[in-house]
Amino acid sequence: MKIDPLPLAIALGVFLLTISLLDISLAAETDKAYLALICGALFFAASISSRHGAVAELGAEAVAIFATLLVAALVVFSLPLPTSMLSLVSGQKAVSTDVSQGNLTSPRVVIDMEMVDSEIFFENSNLSGYRIASEVTARGLTRKAAARVLERCKLQIQDVGGNITVRLTGPKRLQIRVKPRLVIQMPANVTANLLVRLSRGSLNLTGLACGRIGASIKVGRIDARSLDAWTCEMSVDNGPIDIEVAARQLRLQTIIGDIRVISLRPETELSAESVNGKIEARLNFSDEVGYHVEADNIGGSIQVNLTNVVLTKQKSGFISVRSRDIEEKKLITRVYARTTTGNVTIAQA
């Protein structure tokens, strides 16, 4: 079926003007239902008017194309899409900034964060309390539409007795169009327990003293430097983990992405798993303590660097390594590395 370019151009122009004035993604479900009924009426009117001459036929074709585009837009903006389709066709945005501060009466604090898309920085500071600087960016077809998204999606920070909760409020269908950027500063004399969950984004940790860290990101990355923690559990479905940490227990996991860990603590239990990525571990070995390292990989290589190593067992795709027996044979480092299609390298650091 050949479409005349004139009614197509008219319908497309009217459609773009309509969605720029009426942000369909912000419309209520009842308003979308009314728009769908209007589209049905337009189709009916077009079918009738097309029988009254060539000019009427061109007008009916333009109306039918416009109604078709509007129905398609209603369907797209009503679906629970994992990514914001609107941001792909628009560069319009609105930004709000804010700073939240509070005092800490306890040497331990719990920080719980859950958002769709965010860029988060945790830093050490000389402040007596905590400080959270936020920059929230929303996108829309127009600046007015982006501003309306910001009005409905607010960053909420609650502090109840040292339990700090950070959430982005508002409908989930609008949260995918909002990206907060947070810089969180914590006092050096406070130990923090962190729990971070993101669908997309990045987590950056610098110079923090933590008890437990639990971080889960579907698409993004995790970076840490000069981090001190007792237990550290981090997972990224699609993206890398690159950390420099002094921790007693490390659990690192990726599906698509590399894992690079530098352990600053001379006594660590490390577990690293990757499906399609490279695992690289550098251990600060000491003759006074022992390591326990497990590394599993399917589609990538494994490299473990440590000192004072003796190879004890090697099979196809499996290597077991331990340190030389220390006095009374109590402190032994063991490395279990398994890979399906990659290489395993145990080297002197």
Residues forming a β-bridge with 210: 192, 229
Residue ranges with strand state E in 78-206: 92-102, 108-125, 130-140, 155-160, 163-168, 178-187, 191-206
Nearest to 307 by CA among 331, 279, 333, 326: 333
Q: Which structure tokens are listed for 123? A: 């830093």
Say if residue 207 is exposed, middle or buried (CB neighbours under 10 Å; 0-12, 13-18, 19+): middle
Q: How wide is the angle at C-alpha 224 spanned by C-alphas 226 and 277, nearest 5°?
A: 135
DSSP string of 117-149? Answer: EEEEEEEEES-SSEEEEEEEEEEESSHHHHHHH
DSSP 106: S
pTM of the model: 0.69
In this structure, is residue 150 part of a structural domain? no
Nearest to 35 by CA among 71, 78, 76, 4: 71
Residue 33 sits in the same domain as residue 120: no
Which pLDDT score is estimated for 59? 75
In this structure, is residue 342 part of a structural domain? yes
Contact 210, 227 (CB under 8 A): yes
CATH number of residue 303's parent domain = 2.160.20
Which pLDDT score is estimated for 342? 62
Q: How many CB atoms lie within 10 A of CB 265?
A: 18
Residue 12 sits in the same domain as residue 118: no
In this structure, is residue 54 part of a structural domain? yes
Residue ranges with strand state E in the chain: 92-102, 108-125, 130-140, 155-160, 163-168, 178-187, 191-206, 209-238, 241-256, 259-263, 269-276, 279-283, 292-297, 302-306, 309-315, 318-323, 334-339, 344-348
Residue 276 sits in the same domain as residue 344: yes
Q: Which helix (H) or strand (E) holds 46?
A: helix 29-49
CA distance 276 to 296: 11
Residue 198 sits in the same domain as residue 326: yes
In this structure, is residue 161 part of a structural domain? no
Residue 309 sits in the same domain as residue 207: yes
Which pLDDT score is estimated for 5? 75
Q: How wide is the angle at C-alpha 244 spanned by C-alphas 239 and 245, nearest 5°?
A: 115
Contact 115, 169 (CB under 8 A): no
Q: Residue 60: give the domain boundaries.
A: 5-78
Nearest to 323 by CA among 277, 289, 275: 289
Residue 35 sits in the same domain as residue 72: yes
Residue 72 sits in the same domain as residue 108: no
Residue 198 sits in the same domain as residue 258: yes
Domain boundary among 78, 95, 115: 78
Q: What is the mean pLDDT of each run of 10 residues along the chain (349 residues)?
A: 68 74 62 76 75 70 80 70 46 86 84 90 87 89 82 89 88 84 88 90 89 92 90 92 88 89 76 85 63 69 62 50 50 61 60
Q: What is the pLDDT of residues 320-330, one digit of tens each?
A: 555 555 444 44
Residue 66 sits in the same domain as residue 116: no
In this structure, is residue 138 part of a structural domain? no
Number of domains forming the structure of the chain? 2
Residue 120 sits in the same domain as residue 260: yes
In this structure, is residue 12 part of a structural domain? yes
In this structure, is residue 314 part of a structural domain? yes
Angstrom distances, CA of residue 247 to CA of 268, 280, 283, 291: 6, 16, 11, 12
Nearest to 123 by CA among 194, 205, 51: 205
In this structure, is residue 135 part of a structural domain? no
Length of the chain: 349
Residue 211 sits in the same domain as residue 245: yes
